Amino acid sequence: MIFLVLLGAPGAGKGTQAAILSERLDIPHVATGDLFRAAVRERSAVGLEARRYMERGQLVPDEITVQMLLERLAQADAGEGVILDGFPRTPAQAVALDTALAEHDARVDHALEIQVPFEELVRRMSGRWICAENGHVYNEVSHPPRVAGRCDLDDSPLLQRDDDKAETIRARLDLQLGALAEVSRHYDERGVLRTVDGRGSIEQVADDLLAAIGPVTRGAA
């Protein structure tokens, strides 16, 4: 069982790195942003509620977010551990996660923070496009699609998320950087925080993250 938390500002590359780590470590990648977007598509009660906050670039309230996450963690494929991406984003979420894991004699093994300077984050997020069908992520600068405006993988149209538009980016960052610092401190105090420079290539950052985790024995307690 290995429980990883990936920390970083929006645009730091958490989603990309979580997908790579998920494949290398063979444990699921759980992103609360993806869970919320799926709920919005399904028009579930959680989705309708969450959308009001997401459209404004605000965090969804802790109570809704924690409940949704814990339901996901209760699914069978999370039994060997998970890589959390985009959660926790507030100290209250971090505490709720610790409490839930402690009930299963588990804990967050590693909190890995991907650090990227503020202006670089703004630049990266301004060019982010997401495919309509499956949420595949592209970036005008670092990862453009082969054909402009179409997804390489499923050919669906690329859209800019409401919360990736220029006017909401700085608001999102301002809101979330303060909370991120508090969440990082939470894990630092528990001795499990490692920081990695997020400005290298995707491969370099992935290697640094894996090195920070160290050897992983799957199936160990």
Q: Which residue in 37, 72, 124, 128 is the catalytic one?
A: 128
Q: How far is the CB of 87 from ligand AMP (least distance, A)?
A: 4
Please tell me whether residue 9 adopts helix, strand or coil conformation: coil
Q: Is 150 a catalytic residue?
A: no
Q: Is 172 a catalytic residue?
A: yes
Q: Are 101 and 109 in contact (CB under 8 A)?
A: no
d(C-alpha 53, C-alpha 32), whole Å = 14
Residues that bind ligand AMP (CB under 6 A): 10, 32-33, 36, 53-54, 57-60, 65, 86-87, 89, 93, 163
Q: How far is the CB of 57 from ligand AMP (least distance, A)?
A: 6
Nearer to ligand AMP, 51 or 199 (CB): 51
Q: Is 218 a catalytic residue?
A: no
Nearer to ligand AMP, 58 or 216 (CB): 58
Instruction: Report which residue's Cβ sits closest to ligand AMP.
Output: 33
Q: Which residue in 14, 37, 72, 124 is the catalytic one?
A: 14
Structure tokens at 158: 């690329």
Q: Are 111 and 208 in contact (CB under 8 A)?
A: no
Q: How far is the CB of 219 from ligand AMP (least distance, A)?
A: 29
Nearer to ligand AMP, 47 or 81 (CB): 47
**Nearest 10 degrees: Cα torsion 202, 128, 35, 8:** 50
Q: How far is the CB of 210 from ligand AMP (least distance, A)?
A: 22
Q: Which residue in 37, 72, 89, 124 is the catalytic one?
A: 89
Element (DSSP H or E) covering residue 4: strand 2-7
Tell me the CA distances in angstroms from 110 to 7, 61, 145, 193, 214, one per residue in order. 10, 25, 33, 6, 10
Q: Is 14 a catalytic residue?
A: yes
> Looking at the DSSP assignment, which residues form a beta bridge with residue 128?
139
- Please give the positions annotated as active site: 14, 89, 128, 161, 172
